[in-house]
Structure 1
Amino acid sequence: MRKIIFLFCALCTLSFSQAQDFNKYERMNGVSSVLITSEMFKLLAEIDFDSSDPEVQNYVNLIENLKDIKVLSTSKPAIAQQLEADVNAYITSSQLKELMRVNDDGNDARFYFEAGDSAAVVKRLIMFFKGEENGEKITVAMSISGNIDLKQVSKLAKDLKVPGADALKDVEPK
């Protein structure tokens, strides 16, 4: 019985530690990182935008429902390899579903999600991109959590200038 309890605790710890592995990249040399929290989204939603513009209103509605966005990018091969391994482990342990894959001229973008309350809304969206930008090899991992409207998220990712975000423009959940 002790062995079973020990094994269960070890598996829970492993699963929890894999989710936390991305934090190690935030201050790592050779990695660019951006973290936007729900507090920032709340502040942005309170700014008095021109509410008569439907595009602006859609943008405000999107950011009001987000918890956080984390973007990690690197051009260092060793870090890129470890980041890819950590993303793959996280996708497996979290049982995320594949949303789509795009391979265009050597640029590979993969998207995974955790289902939300409706087909057009997801709780978590993970993007992994490996390819080139401006002639330089780059690897990018992006995580967005909250109530994410897939029809609006591509605009947000594009505005954040995330490599691979263009592939989101026609995204629909499976």
Structure 2
Amino acid sequence: MKKLAIILVLAVLPYVSNAQSYFDKYENMSDVTSMVITNKMFKLLSKIDFESSDKETQEYLNLVENINNIKVFITDNKEVSQKMQGDVGNYLKSSSLDELMRVKSDDGENIKFYIKPGSTDDYVSELFMYLEGNDKKDGPESIILTITGKIDLRQVSKLADDLNIPGGKELKKVKKGN
């Protein structure tokens, strides 16, 4: 029985940690700016006693308490950007993410949002964003954002604004089912 449990865990593990292993290599890569916030940070934030009856503060605390991690990788290096584009394509092919929305801006940015369904219709277990930019001054910019946990899409834009996460403006427009 113990062997069966170990085999089952090993068989499921690649699917559980797929996004993390796909993009972790960018964390220590030169020409990549990265931000990784772990669930320990969110647990710490949720334990802070704000003693507030403010509904918005309580919603924010509920949101961060249920997030496992946030990872952001940004580059304006053309070669790294091309690697990111390839890895994003491979990840999307191998994952069970659903496209949520696409935004193409006048200045050449293409932003795509994907979600992995959660336990209910109001929550998702992963929010994935990929931005391909075309900043004519500095060259192409690519941004990968992945948020995992029990994510309330109605509240996540507030967190993105507070943490100054790229794509936060577009997150305000996100509604599941768009």
RMSD between aligned alpha carbons?
2.3
The answer to whether the Cα contact below 8 Å between 1:96 and 1:112 also exists between their aligned partners in 2 is: yes
Q: Following TM superposition, by how much is the alpha carbon of 1:46 offset from its aligned partner in structure 2, in angstroms? A: 0.7
Residue type of the partner of 2:30? N
Structure 2 portions without partners, runs of 5+: 1-11
1:153 paired to 2:156 = yes
The answer to whether the Cα contact below 8 Å between 1:41 and 1:63 also exists between their aligned partners in 2 is: yes
Q: How does 1:10-159 map to 2 (within 5 A)?
A: 19=19, 20-105=21-106, 106-131=108-133, 136=138, 137-159=140-162
Q: Secondary structure at the match of 1:147?
A: strand
Q: Secondary structure at the match of 2:73?
A: strand
Deviates more, 1:160-169 or 1:29-38: 160-169
Residue type of the partner of 1:138? E
Structure 1 length normalisation: TM-score? 0.85
Q: Following TM superposition, by how much is the alpha carbon of 1:133 offset from its aligned partner in structure 2, in angstroms? A: 7.0
Q: Secondary structure at the match of 1:157?
A: helix
Q: Following TM superposition, by how much is the alpha carbon of 1:21 offset from its aligned partner in structure 2, in angstroms? A: 2.8
Structure 1 portions without partners, runs of 5+: 1-11
Structure 1 residues 52 and 99, CA gap change in structure 2 (3 angstroms): same
Structure 1 residues 57 and 135, CA gap change in structure 2 (3 angstroms): farther
Q: Secondary structure at the match of 2:53?
A: coil
Q: Percent identity?
A: 44
Q: Which residue of 2 aligns with 1:168?
A: 171
Structure 1 residues 66 and 18, CA gap change in structure 2 (3 angstroms): closer
Structure 1 residues 53 and 135, CA gap change in structure 2 (3 angstroms): farther
**More strand, by proportion:** 1
Rounded Cα–Cα distance in structure 2 between residues aligned with 1:132 and 1:54: 40
Q: Secondary structure at the match of 1:129?
A: strand
The size of the alignment, in residue pairs, is 163
Structure 1 residues 17 and 149, CA gap change in structure 2 (3 angstroms): closer
Rounded Cα–Cα distance in structure 2 between residues aligned with 1:44 and 1:76: 34
